Amino acid sequence: MKKQRWLCQSCRRTFGPQTNLTRGHDSLSRSLKSQIMSLVRLGMPATQIALVVHCAPSTVIRTIHERVDLPRRVARLPQNLCFDEFRSVNHAMSFICCDAVTHQLVTKLASRVSRDIIDYFENRYSLSERQSVQTVVVDMNAQYSRFIHRLFPKAEIIIDRFHITQLAGRALDAARIQTLKGLSDHRSRIYRIMKSQWRLFHKDFTNINADKPVYLRGVNEYMTQQNAIDLVIDQFPAFDVVYQTYQRLMRAIRTKNVHEMSQLLDEYHPQHNQMDVVIQTLKYYRHYVLNSLIYPYSNGPIEGLNRKIKDLKRHCYGFRNMTNFFKRIDCFL
């Protein structure tokens, strides 16, 4: 909107007409800014929004800063929280927290340093508010478990079940690859099974087909899935120990059997393989690992938020300003 300005002959100051279509001295109407914000919530980049509404990209950025304020805190601290981090600006890692039940974003901090996280919660929430938190779901990042009880005295720490599964799966793959490197004949049946049918070893034993022969690509033979696994574990007893431990661990997590998990951690003897590190880590976080089988909460909600943040960064070709990035996150989530 173009506005004419007049010069006062007495005070020698300029002034313009006032209208309810714009605010103050703005030349963009309120409806145009509302249209900009509706496109911002779709995760579109500022340059593309500027082409759609016929304005400058800097105008889009100014509109976002004008209409979006970063919240200082939430009105009520949820009883169940999820902690995680994400890559934000200039390859920096930032902290993010959300409600484990409603999946609503609680806060995001520019730094994941323990000092900054402690200062945020202690300065914005009273002790009585922090005592209402019952559970906190984290990954195996050791720094979180050191200060969570300081911030939330009555909270139980839960290790995310996905990270336990991921840790055990990587140990199984490492043992399989180490076994493969010891085979000299790369055309043998055993080598081809371990090379091409690696998913069979990650498969739940209750879903393994032991009756119907199927064609295994890479092996170029018809055989049952159980037969293919037996051919490998019968020839390599060391890999069999890793495989059986992995299956017991996955069965305990799938059935949420606390007794079986405790029994596995107590009865396991070091075999000088990759699974030793997994069991040692689970023993270190024993109480938190058992909590993951008792409570139904996981880090799935916050991983979903992190996925949306990655989509926003990819659509907008990255961000250089932390404040602008955080405001775009508030609009997009």
Same fold, 6-67 and 80-160+298-332: no
Structure tokens at 158: 């839960």
* Strand pairing class (214-216; 135-138): unpaired
Query: How far is Cα of residue 177 from the mean position of the Cα atoms in its chain?
Result: 28
Residue pair 158/136 in contact (Cβ under 8 Å)? The answer is yes
pLDDT of residue 252: 94
Side-chain-facing half-sphere of 266: CA atoms under 13 Å: 6
Residues sharing a CB contact under 8 Å with residue 259, sequence separation 6 or more, in sequence order? none
From the list 26, 119, 35, 120, the residue with the least C-alpha distance to 71 is: 120
CA distance 190 to 209: 19
Query: How far is Cα of residue 76 from the mean position of the Cα atoms in its chain?
Result: 23
pLDDT of residue 149: 93
From the list 17, 18, 19, 54, the residue with the least C-alpha distance to 35 is: 54
Side-chain-facing half-sphere of 153: CA atoms under 13 Å: 6
CA distance 127 to 153: 9
The values of phi and psi at residue 322, to 5°, are: -65, -40
Structure tokens at 162: 């996905």
State the amino acid at position 193 in one-letter form: I
Residues sharing a CB contact under 8 Å with residue 169, sequence separation 6 or more, in sequence order? 202, 246
From the list 263, 268, 320, 327, the residue with the least C-alpha distance to 293 is: 263
CA distance 7 to 13: 6
CATH topology of domain 6-67: Arc Repressor Mutant, subunit A (1.10.10)
pLDDT of residue 26: 73
**Structural domain boundaries in the chain:** 6-67, 80-160+298-332, 162-289
The predicted model scores a pTM of 0.85
Tell me which architecture the domain covering 80-160+298-332 has in CATH.
2-Layer Sandwich (3.30)
pLDDT of residue 14: 83
CA distance 290 to 269: 20
From the list 10, 63, 107, 161, the residue with the least C-alpha distance to 333 is: 107
Q: Is 157 helix (H, G, I), strand (E, B) or coil?
A: strand
**Residues composing the chain:** 333
Structure tokens at 226: 């159980």
CA distance 96 to 107: 6
State the amino acid at position 183 in one-letter form: L
Q: What is the pLDDT along the chain (333 residues), one digit of tens a residue?
A: 676 778 888 888 887 777 777 776 677 888 889 999 999 999 999 999 999 999 899 999 999 999 999 999 999 999 999 999 999 998 899 999 999 999 999 999 999 999 999 999 999 999 999 999 999 999 988 788 889 999 999 999 999 999 999 999 999 999 999 999 988 888 889 999 999 999 999 999 888 888 889 998 888 889 999 999 999 999 999 999 999 999 999 999 999 999 999 999 999 988 888 899 999 999 999 999 999 999 999 999 999 999 999 999 999 988 999 999 999 999 998
Which residues lie across from 216 on neighbouring strands? Answer: 221
Structure tokens at 187: 């055309």
The vertex-319 CA angle with 314 and 325, nearest 5°, equals: 100
Which residue, chain included where needed, has tokens 């409600």?
99
